[in-house]
Amino acid sequence: MSVLVASVAAGVLPGAPIRAAAQDPSVTPTAPRSTAPTPTAPTPTPTSTDSTTSAPGAGVAQGLTLAPQPPAGWPTVPVSTARAVMAVDATTGQVLATANVDERVQVASTIKLLTVLTALDVLSPDQQVTVGQEVAGIGGSTAALDPGDTWSVRDLVAGALVRSGNDAAEALALAAGDGDRDAFLAMMNDKAASLGITGATIADPSGLEDVNLLSARDLVVIGREALATPLVAEIAASRTWDLPSTGVVPNRNLLLEQREDATGLKTGTTDLAGASLVGSVRNGTGPDAHDLLVAVLGARNDDQRYLETNAVFDWVEAEFAREPVVVGARIRLPGEWIGDVVTLDVWSPAVPEVDTTLAVDGSSVVSELSLPSGGQLGEYVATADRPPPSSIGESVVAKLYDGMRQAHELGMWDS
């Protein structure tokens, strides 16, 4: 475990270096800069290792940003025939692999993840829907719906995800759009925008028409939202589902048969799109488990998409370890405080290094995470919304440099 914690209130610095950054105490610090991927889903709040109640005082902006692509010195992801590949830790948002991740391409039925997420924003799972002519004669994969059938929204979602039913996707679109397909497409675009996805082409709820253009990065964002939505995650992970039209049917996502740790999510195949998969697995058990997510777009055929997806999951678990890294600092001052000490789970081929900078007026703390080779993994920032009084700032400076002097005299400080 890599640990670097500053405790200025006690006037004692640990042996690991903490750099003092010059800063004008009269200037209010700006918010932490963001290096997070765009678009991205929100990163979960890191776990605090200090449960002590903070003293009242200045408000604090705290945030973790992770690199939008793997750093220099990162192992190379195995890619064979796929047009694009992206792998992330869906629990934290850490990017583990990228290959052509921002090109917008046809994505076939993987769009149904966005379709069901959009529909569930306005429809309840137990709501009953009577389908109409929108399901008549529809091509491609179906859930065997007929005009006049009445299904719950939950079963329609299962029909769209488990059986990749184009009819179920169209039925959800009409139900959620109050009978207006174009209105629902506008809702899908709004949903994508709310997740940070801009510039994508979203014009078909089923993916059958091959007019949707999204990137691997877009699908990873949508996949993270799917995993964070309990009903969608439950249905996507189901090996079978009992549909009203057919009885018990298997999930078309064969990753669920190939891996015990698989949890979803959605396949997609057309002539233009090739064979694609947004796949997920659970790494670990219990409260420490993380979800890994891989988007493979445009593989040569059905078998190849599973081979390549499995290869990426196996590569992650063989090349990297989840390293618990402690970053940040809690600084206690009279009437003021900033920062926190947090533990991050970071995937890395080597134990990450942490370099923490403390502003000399006590107004901000920055911890940078990097590989021993120098590639940056991410950054944790805590910034007070106003600087502490100058007298307190002077006290911080005095304690900081006194700590540096003591550490140097004890041989614990690199000159």
Question: Which residues are part of the catalytic machinery?
Answer: 109, 112, 164
- Evaluate whether 294 touches 312 at the Cβ level (below 8 Å): yes
- Evaluate whether 359 touches 82 at the Cβ level (below 8 Å): no
Distance of CA 147 to the CA centre of its chain: 39
Strand ranges of the sheet holding 60-66, from the earlier edge strand across to the other edge: 18-21, 353-359, 364-370, 376-384, 60-66
Across-strand partners of 331? 338
- Evaluate whether 147 touches 129 at the Cβ level (below 8 Å): no
Concatenate the DSSP letters of all residues of 289-316 into one string.
-EEEEEEEEEESSHHHHHHHHHHHHHHH
What span, in angstroms and rounded, lies between the C-alpha atoms of 49 and 328? 10
- Evaluate whether 112 touches 206 at the Cβ level (below 8 Å): yes
Tell me if the bond preceding 265 is cis, omega within 30° of 0: yes
Q: Which residues contact 285 (CB under 8 A, 6 or more apart)?
A: none
